[in-house]
Structure 1
Amino acid sequence: MLAHLTESTTCGASRQMKTFIVSTTLLSLVYILILFALRETLQGPPLVPTLEIHPSQERSTDIRPPQDGDIEIRPQQERITDILPPQEKFTDILPPQDADIEIRSQQETITEIRPPQEGNTKIRQPQESSSEIHSLPGTSAKDTKPAWTFGDLAPSSSWQFDAQALKEVRDITVKLNLKEGLQRNRVGNFTKSKKDKIPKIGHHDTCALVGNGGVILGSQCGEEIDSNDFVIRIDVPVIHGHENDVGKRTDMVITNMKTVKRMHESSHFENRSQDVYENRMKSLSGAYLVADKSVLQEIEEVAETYRLSLIVLHRTERIRTGTGAIASEIAKMNGLPRMHGLPSTGLITVLMSTIFCDHTHMYGFFPFTTDAKNNSIPYHYYPGDYVNPPLHHTTGSHNMDREYDFFRDLHRRGILKMHVGPSGE
């Protein structure tokens, strides 16, 4: 009985031991599988297969062109743009289309002629013409009336022509004796003929004297100036681009010696684009050119260089030096101070016009570089003339302030009419 119990106990213990060993083994396997699964989860799929097929696959595009099968293995071709031609980057601003290159080429051409778009005005900006250099705030040479204020500098607003006052002045200015003081010559490209007589200046009802002062910018006086019977300009000015303000017609140009010498020097420039006077002179074709006799040789050479035919009225010394005495006589008659020094070209022009013009209108005569409110006014309405504004309005032997007061007095007395500001004023 005891032996049977002992055998039963031993068998039971043996079965328990086997069960424990099997259980332990199974748990160990489960634990190993769990560890293996965790390892796979944390480290991702093994890289060995990829490395065996494409070594350094992830950076292959940096060192070699794509190989067969390469695109299939790399996920979604994330860096395919690294090896495509640069033109594909245009897809940022233009969707891909057929003949894409041709379309973009046309687009670049169009941007050269269309108005500047936002963001590219610093790259492509229309250049200003020489006629726009003196545009000022509140002014425009074409459309807008100037915003200058002249105050006490303006001529009298109440004006009425006085024929008797003009006669009194003319009785003095005829002493200039233009018939002898202006000697007529033809120079340049023309055919000499006994029948080819030089026309006389004649006598005119209305004359426009056009000065070069910047005050004429934006005045819109062009048509008004051209409506006169005779148009006189000073010192070979620029007309093209300023027709709305200064008109188109020219019947006479009165120059000083410095202008002729600059023009003569300019005509010899090898680089013809630097010569600012050739086009100016051609625009004055058919007009009288009044200049000092001392520069007649320079004028002849200029006319030959430019292939122009000019009618030159060269002033004798009597007109150049005698004008000051005549101006002083007129000033004294009107109770003004005596005129000192040599007269300016503008003063000579005004006194000459009283001889052969019945109604004289002055435009662009304003020697000041600021208005009554200290707004800047260009000394000349056109650039490139190499003339600096006068210092204290006195240029060498000229007194521009005194001459301006002299003109305003002639205006006040109804001998001539000054126009300072917009057309119609």
Structure 2
Amino acid sequence: MQPLKLHCEVCSIVSSSGQMLGREAGGAIDQSSCIWRMNNAPTRGFEKDVGHRTDLRVVSHTSVPLLIQKPQHFFGLQNETVYVVWGPLRNMRKDGKGIVYNMLQQAVENYPHARIYVTTEERMNYCDTVFKKETGKDRIQSGSYLSTGWFTLILAMDMCKDIRVYGMINDTYCKFEGNKKVPYHYYEAGSRDECAEYLLHESAPYGGHRFITEKAVFAKWAKTHPIKFFRPEWKLS
């Protein structure tokens, strides 16, 4: 397995949030040297808001089956996208018992052209360590799972000179009266409201993503790294 080597001047990270809808950010996003998306977020039908190209896709182990359902679309010859898949060792182990790793291996056999990378156990542990360092909480003891956004931003800080994040809300957005109600994913109309989903996860005793906590950490990173947030813009105090 070759390690992933990728360096970009300007990375546009496109959130899967319903905040993307109607923002018409597609033109600005398409001008970036690298466009990053998450999981199975589509562009077709949403180009005006989310742009056309996908250079890199960060994918959760739980979303891999969704890619496998449309292998020609995601891994076919027309697709130049680099995939970085993250997941716990139990799903990603290479001894034949890692269910997700096996799926990916099958995809590469069927589509030899596909560029698929998986995060190492060391990298997964590193992301946990960063969470503990930034929040004071042990991820496992606090019953939480890191989000794909967390892995994406950490990866981007390694690979991108300039980071532009589109469609991500900050940690106080859901507290404001009159915040814009949007679906959790822009491509799932009628899905649960984003803030409702965030609040549910933040307080889940086990198995939740700490989206709001993570956003507070991102705001902190944006003060020392070239990270900017658009549509909605973040006011960094």
Map 1:374-393 onto structure 2 (within 5 A).
374-383=179-188, 389-390=197-198, 392-393=200-201
Q: What SS is found at the alignment partner of 1:393?
A: helix
Counterpart among 209, 215, 220 of residue 409 in structure 1: 220
Measured in 2, the distance between the counterparts of 1:393 and 1:401 equals: 9
Return closer, same or farther for 1:356/1:375 CA change in 2, 3 Å cut-off. Answer: closer
Once the 2 structures are TM-superposed, how far is the Cα of residue 412 of structure 1 from its aligned partner?
Answer: 4.0
Map 1:261-272 onto structure 2 (within 5 A).
261-264=65-68, 267=69
- For structure 1, list consecutive stretches of 5 or more residues without a partner in the other structure: 1-182, 186-199, 268-274, 332-336
Q: Decide which structure has the larger Cα Rg and report it.
A: 1
Q: What SS is found at the alignment partner of 1:309?
A: coil
**What letter matches 2:136 in structure 1?**
R
Q: Is the CA contact 1:208–1:228 (under 8 Å) kept in the aligned structure 2?
A: yes
Q: What SS is found at the alignment partner of 1:301?
A: helix
Measured in 2, the distance between the counterparts of 1:283 and 1:377 equals: 35
Partner of 1:338: 136
Counterpart among 337, 341, 349 of residue 152 in structure 2: 349
- Say whether residues 1:323 and 2:165 are aligned partners: no
Partner of 2:115: 311
TM-score normalised by structure 1 residue count: 0.43
Measured in 2, the distance between the counterparts of 1:283 and 1:390 equals: 37
Measured in 1, the distance between the counterparts of 2:81 and 2:180 equals: 36
- Say whether residues 1:218 and 2:22 are aligned partners: yes
**What letter matches 1:408 in structure 2?**
A
**What letter matches 2:31 in structure 1?**
S
Considering fraction of residues, name the structure with more strand. 2
**What letter matches 2:106 in structure 1?**
E
Partner of 2:83: 289
Return closer, same or farther for 1:296/1:184 CA change in 2, 3 Å cut-off. Answer: farther
Measured in 2, the distance between the counterparts of 1:358 and 1:410 equals: 14
**What letter matches 2:185 in structure 1?**
H
- Say whether residues 1:241 and 2:45 are aligned partners: yes
Once the 2 structures are TM-superposed, how far is the Cα of residue 339 of structure 1 from its aligned partner?
Answer: 4.8
Partner of 1:180: none
Map 1:39-118 onto structure 2 (within 5 A).
none
Note the aligned Cα RMSD (angstroms): 3.2
**What letter matches 1:411 in structure 2?**
A
Measured in 2, the distance between the counterparts of 1:281 and 1:371 equals: 41
**What letter matches 2:229 in structure 1?**
M
Deviations 1:224-282 (A, max 9, x none): 11211112111021110111111111111111111113444xx3xxxxxxx6x754555
Measured in 2, the distance between the counterparts of 1:313 and 1:253 equals: 10
**What letter matches 2:50 in structure 1?**
V
Partner of 1:366: 169
Measured in 2, the distance between the counterparts of 1:308 and 1:287 equals: 13
Measured in 1, the distance between the counterparts of 2:230 and 2:28 equals: 11
Counterpart among 80, 96, 106 of residue 301 in structure 1: 106
Return closer, same or farther for 1:242/1:283 CA change in 2, 3 Å cut-off. Answer: farther
Deviations 1:168-210 (A, max 9, x none): xxxxxxxxxxxxxxx449xxxxxxxxxxxxxx53322211111
Map 1:198-217 onto structure 2 (within 5 A).
201-217=5-21
1 or 2 for the larger relative contact order (CA 8 Å, sep ≥6)?
2
Q: Is the CA contact 1:369–1:379 (under 8 Å) kept in the aligned structure 2?
A: no
Measured in 1, the distance between the counterparts of 2:119 and 2:222 equals: 26
Return closer, same or farther for 1:379/1:201 CA change in 2, 3 Å cut-off. Answer: same
Q: Is the CA contact 2:37–2:58 (under 8 Å) kept in the aligned structure 1?
A: yes
Measured in 1, the distance between the counterparts of 2:130 and 2:150 equals: 11
Aligned residues: 209
Counterpart among 232, 246, 253 of residue 36 in structure 2: 232
Partner of 2:89: none
**What letter matches 2:13 in structure 1?**
L
Once the 2 structures are TM-superposed, how far is the Cα of residue 324 of structure 1 from its aligned partner?
Answer: 2.2
Map 1:117-136 onto structure 2 (within 5 A).
none
- For structure 2, list consecutive stretches of 5 or more residues without a partner in the other structure: 87-91, 93-97, 140-144
Map 1:132-281 onto structure 2 (within 5 A).
183-184=1-2, 201-264=5-68, 267=69, 279=73
Return closer, same or farther for 1:371/1:281 CA change in 2, 3 Å cut-off. Answer: farther
Deviations 1:80-137 (A, max 9, x none): xxxxxxxxxxxxxxxxxxxxxxxxxxxxxxxxxxxxxxxxxxxxxxxxxxxxxxxxxx
Counterpart among 361, 379, 399 of residue 210 in structure 2: 399
Once the 2 structures are TM-superposed, how far is the Cα of residue 403 of structure 1 from its aligned partner?
Answer: 0.4
Measured in 1, the distance between the counterparts of 2:44 and 2:56 equals: 17
Once the 2 structures are TM-superposed, how far is the Cα of residue 347 of structure 1 from its aligned partner?
Answer: 0.6
Q: What SS is found at the alignment partner of 2:63?
A: helix
Q: Identity over the aligned pairs, expressed in percent?
A: 21
Q: What SS is found at the alignment partner of 1:392?
A: helix
Return closer, same or farther for 1:281/1:238 CA change in 2, 3 Å cut-off. Answer: farther
TM-score normalised by structure 2 residue count: 0.74
